[in-house]
Structure 1
Amino acid sequence: MRKTALDCVYELAKKDPRVLFIGSDLGPEVLIEMKKEIPDRFFMEGVSEQHIVGMAAGLAMEGFIPYVNTIATFLTRRCYEQIVLDLCLQDLPVRLIANGGGAVYAPLGPTHLAVEDIAIMRLLPNMGVVSVCDSLEMKRLMQASLNWPHPLYIRLAKGGDEIISSENDKFQIGKAILMKNPGECLFVSTGVMTQIALKAASELEKENILCGVLHMHTIKPLDKETLLELFPKVTKIVTVEEHFKNGGLGSSILEFCNDEMPDQCIKIKRIGIEDKFADQYGSQNSLLENWGISTQHLCAAMRN
C-alpha cells in the first residue's frame, strides 16, 4: 500500500507540475526514479518532521500540492503544532501520507503504534482523514486527492493486503461504500479492518445471521447521508477499527447519532483498542488478537 501511494505521487507529478514529494529520512531507494527525473520536486529532508510540515505549508502557499511522507507516529505526534497552525489554520492542500497506521510497527513497541492518530487528526478543522482498505483503493484515493482543496491525512496499512475493493465502488472522498448489503445486522469499518469485517460477515452468514459491511474509508468528512439512510434499516451495528475506541471511527459515528438520530445509539457496539498503552511486543496480528480485534471477536460481538 505504501509503495502504491508513493508510485502514485510520482505519476501525479509527471502529469501536474504542482505536485511535489517531501520525505523524512526514508531511505535511498524511495521514489528513486522521481528523484532522477524530477529532482526539483523531490525533497528528502532527514529526521526533521516538524520542518517538513512547515516547508510543505510554505510550498502550498506558493501554489504547489505537497505530498508529505513519513512514519505515522512521527507525522502526527512530533509535529502536531505545525499541522494545526501551518496546515489546518491556513487550510492548505497538503497531503500527509502516514506509514504504519494502527499496529503495523508492533515489533517496535508502543512508541511506534499509531493508534490515536485518527482521533487527533479528525479533531482539527479543515483536516480530512482517510484510511483505505487495499492498494487498488489507494490508487483511487490518490487520484481523488489531487483536487481535494483541504489538508488530508492518509493512513497507510502494512501493504500486501488482500484486494477487496472494486472499480465499481465509485470511490469518492467523504462517501462510504456498502460492500455487503445488510439484513438485520451491520458492520461499519475503516481501513484494512474492512477485510476482517467481510470475513466475519461470511462466517455469520453460515449461521443465518445476515450482516452487511459498510466501508468508511473516509472518517472525516463523515458520510452522514449514508448513515441516516442505512442505520434505521438495521437493528444491530458493530463498528471496528485498528485504533483506540476513544476518538476514532466508532466515536465519530456515536457523536453524529447523538446529535442527529439519538434513537440509533443503543444499537451500536464498538470494537477497538481499550484506553491503555500496549504492554506486549510481537506481530501486528498478535496484538490485534490480544486487543480482541479479529474475525472471531467480531462474530462474537455481533452474536451478543
Structure 2
Amino acid sequence: MRQVAINMVETLARRDPRVVFIGSDLGPNVLAGMKRDMPERFFMEGVAEQHVIGMAAGLAMEGFVPYINTIATFLTRRCLDQIAIDLCMENLPARLIASGGGLVYAPLGPTHLAFEDMALLRALPNMAIVAPADAAEMERLMQASLDWPGPLYIRLAKGGDPVVSRAEAGFAIGKAIPMRPGGEVVLIGTGIMTGRALAAAERLAAQGIEAGVLHVHTVKPLDTEAVLAAADGARLLVTVEEHSRVGGLGSAVGEALLDHRDGGRPRLLRLALPDAFPEGYGSQDHLLTKAGLSVDGIAAAVAGALSPAVR
C-alpha cells in the first residue's frame, strides 16, 4: 500500500506540475525517478517534521499541491500545532501520507504506534481523513486526491494486505461503499479492518447470522447518509477499527446516529483498541488479536452481542 501511494505521487507529478513531494528521513531510493527528473519538486528534509508541515503550507500558498510522507505518529502527534495553524486554518491542499497507521510498527513499541491519529485530526476543521482498505483502493484514492480542495490525511497500512475492494464500486472521497448486503447486523469498517469485517461476516453467516459490511474509507467527512441507510432495519451496528475507541470511526458513527435519528436506533458496538497506551512489542497481528480485533475476535464479539435476550 505504501509503495503504491509513493509511486502514485510520481505519476501525478508527471501529469501535473503543481505536485511536489516532501519526505522526512526516508530511504535514499524513495522516488528515485522523481528525484532524478524533477529535482525542483522533490525534497527530503530529514528528521524535521514540524518544519516539513510549514514548508508544505508555504508551497501550497504558492499554488503547489504538496504530498508529504513520514511515519504516522511523527506526522500527527509531533506536528499537531503546525497542521492546525499552518494547514487547516488556511484550508490548504496538502496531502499527509502517514505510514504505519494503527499498530503497523508494533516491533518498535508504543512510541511508534499511531493509535489516536484519527481522533487528533478529526477535531481539526477542514481536515479530511481517509484509510483505504488495500493497495488497489489506494491507487484510486491517490487519483482522487489531486483535486481535493483542502488538507487530506491518508492513513497507510503495512502493505501486502488482501485486496477486498472492487474497481466497479468506484471511489470518491467522502462516499462509503457497501461491500456486503445487510442483515440484522451491519459491520462498518475502515482501512484494513474492512477486510477483517468481511471475513468475520463469513464466519457469522456459517452460524446463521447475516451480517452486512459497509466500508467507510473516509472517516471525515463521514458519509452520514450511508451510515443511516445501514442502520435502517438493523438490530446491531458494529464499527471495526485499528484505532482507539475514543474519537475514531466508532465515535463518528455514534455521533451521526445521535444527530440524525430520533428513535429506533440500533445498538452500536464499537470494536477498537482500548483507551490505553499500547503495551508490549511483537507483530501487528499479535497486538490486534490481544485487542479482540482478529477475525475470530470480531465474529465472537458480534455473536455475543446478539444474545437471545438482545435478539
Distance 1:265 1:276 in 2: 29
Aligned residue type for 2:152: L
Measure the CA separation in 1 of the matches of 2:58 and 2:185. Answer: 47
Whether the 8 Å contact between 2:130 and 2:152 is mirrored in structure 1 is yes
- Could you tell me which residue of structure 1 aligns to residue 147 of structure 2? 147
Listed as ranges, the matches of 1:132-281 within 5 Å are 132-263=132-263, 265-281=265-281
The DSSP-based 3-state class of the residue aligned with 1:263 is coil
Q: 1:13, 1:148 → 2: CA distance?
A: 15
> What letter matches 2:299 in structure 1?
C
**SS of residue paired to 1:233:** coil
Match of 2:309 in 1: none
How far off its partner does 1:235 sit? Answer: 1.1
Q: Could you tell me the percent identity over the aligned residues?
A: 57
Give, in whole Å, the separation in 1 of the partners of 2:228 and 2:71.
35
Mean Cα deviation higher: 8-17 or 222-231: 222-231
CA distance in 2, matches of 1:266, 1:225: 15
Comparing 265-274 and 130-139, the one that deviates more: 265-274
Alignment of 1:23-172 (within 5 A): 23-172=23-172
Paired AA for residue 8 in structure 2: C
Q: CA–CA distance in 2 between the matches of 1:264 and 1:273?
A: 28
Asked if 1 retains the 8 angstrom alpha-carbon contact of 2:190 and 2:217, the reply is yes
Number of the residue aligned with 1:284: 284
Structure 1 letter corresponding to 2:270 = R
Deviations 1:27-70 (A, max 9, x none): 10111111001111000011100001000000000000000000
Aligned length, in residue pairs: 304
Do 2:231 and 2:265's aligned partners in 1 also have CA atoms closer than 8 Å? no
Matching residue's letter, 1:152: L
In 2: Cα distance, 1:31 partner to 1:52 partner: 17
Structure 2 portions without partners, runs of 5+: 305-311
- Output the amino acid matched with 1:250: G
The alignment's TM-score, normalised by the length of structure 2, stands at 0.96
**Structure 1 length normalisation: TM-score?**
0.98
| 2:231–2:266 Cα contact (<8 Å) kept | no
Q: Are the equivalent residues in 2 in contact too, given 1:72–1:98 (CA < 8 A)?
A: yes
RMSD, aligned α-carbons: 0.9
Would the alpha carbon gap of residues 146 and 260 (structure 1) be closer, same or farther in structure 2, given more than 3 Å must change? same
* Structure 1 residue ranges (4+ consecutive) displaced by more than 2 angstroms after TM superposition: 262-266
Counterpart code for 1:132:
P
- Three-state SS of the structure 2 residue aligned to 1:229 is helix
1:241-284 superposed Cα distances (whole Å, 9 cap, x missing partner): 00000001000110111111153555110000111111211000
Write the letter of the residue equivalent to 1:108: L
Change in CA separation of 1:257 and 1:12 when aligned onto 2, cut-off 3 Å:
same
